Amino acid sequence: MTAKLKFGILGAGRIGCVHADTLAFRVPEAEIAAVADIHREAAQALADRCGIGRVSASTTEIFADPGIDAVLICTSTDTHAELIAQAARAGKHIFCEKPVALSLKKIDASLEAVKHAGVQLQVGFNRRFDSNFVRVRQAVAGGEIGNPYLIHIVSRDPAPPPISYLGPSGGLFLDMMIHDFDMARFLLGDEVEEVYAAGGVLVDPAIGEAGDLDTAVVTLHFSSGAIGTIDNSRKATFGYDQRVEILGSKGKIASENRYPNQVVVSGEKSVYTDLPLNFFMQRYIEAFAAELQAFVEAIREGKPVPVTGEDSRISAVMALAAGKSFREHRPVRLKEISA
């Protein structure tokens, strides 16, 4: 394929804007043909900023356009599965934000629609494309630290999302920690067999009243025998906390937070730096660009996408197992999760 890959963007919210900016200004092989959102004013504002020629009245209009090669699904989680199926039936390649759906039944139906249509589906696990985490993966894959024994993943947001966001999102395990479940598999190149989850409501009682958690720790047991821990919090007052450490038989590798600068201020009573980058829009801006570049290249060159629907399914199984573990106060093996 020599022509630009033409995109339709579904959803002009926060992540839709991030991806639109990336395609418009950082991926020359791509072109945004249209954007659709239930809030037309948001879609129009995005179109004006990114030079998008058409604001569509509906997703159906985008699916019906033969000039559009691929769609970028940036709508709420509870709409992903049906939009994936519709896009597949329309013959569009698909980039979808995580998770694909909140149940395995819907995930499997979506993946079957993609397979039947013969289109490509990439799921937005952007952290795989962060240069720090890519280097961690290289160290593990290349044997630099020997056989992995322990992996610890820290992922904490600077502030909780709006309460209205929690229900459609699937909650902490399926919405937030799902990134860390994917990272655990990616970084070790290994599969998780069992999880054990502990959690609570320590940040905001309203989150508990909405039926969710805001603080959790999950223990992972990998098929190799390695052990992992993930800790999540909806509130870290100092900014976006994103760290990984892996201990192996020959040493360890660790990835720290990213900062707006590398300055260290030293005085009579303290030595300090500025706070880390505040949230994912700043922390992962290069990773967002790299994942979309990889998707565009895969479609244009006929290569497999680097993060598949099956990858997303496995992470969802891990999230569902963590939820079951928390509710039942016991370790849960992934093979117990079937629906």
pLDDT of residue 158 exceeding 80, the answer is yes
pLDDT attached to residue 2: 62
Of 1-10, 152-161, 246-255, 283-292, the range with the lowest mean pLDDT is 1-10
214 pLDDT tier (thresholds 50, 70, 90): very high
How far is residue 292's CA from residue 22's CA, in Å, rounded to a whole number? Answer: 8
Selected from 3.30.310.40, 3.40.50.1580, 3.20.20.60, 3.40.50.720, the CATH number assigned to the domain covering 5-126+287-307 reads 3.40.50.720
Bridge partner list, 10: 36, 73
Fold of 127-279+315-336: Dihydrodipicolinate Reductase; domain 2 (3.30.360)
Q: Which is more confident, 138 or 339?
A: 138
pLDDT of residue 281 exceeding 90, the answer is no
Domain ranges (residues) in the chain: 5-126+287-307, 127-279+315-336
pLDDT attached to residue 338: 85
57 pLDDT tier (thresholds 50, 70, 90): confident
- Give the mean model confidence (pLDDT) for residues 105-123: 97
By three-state DSSP, how is residue 185 classified? helix
pTM of structure:
0.95
DSSP of 93-109, one letter per residue?
EEEEPSPS-SSHHHHHH
Instruction: Give percent of the chain above pLDDT 70.
Output: 99
Q: Report the b/e string of 175-196 with b at 16+ CB within 10 A.
A: bbbbbbbbbbbbbbebebbbbb
- Give the mean model confidence (pLDDT) for residues 186-212: 98
**Contacting residues for 84 by C-beta, under 8 A, at least 6 apart:** 73, 94, 96, 100, 110, 113, 114, 121
pLDDT attached to residue 211: 95
Beta strand segments in the chain, E: 5-10, 30-36, 55-56, 70-73, 93-96, 121-123, 148-156, 192-200, 215-222, 227-233, 241-248, 251-255, 265-266, 271-272, 332-333
- Give the mean model confidence (pLDDT) for residues 308-317: 97
pLDDT attached to residue 11: 96
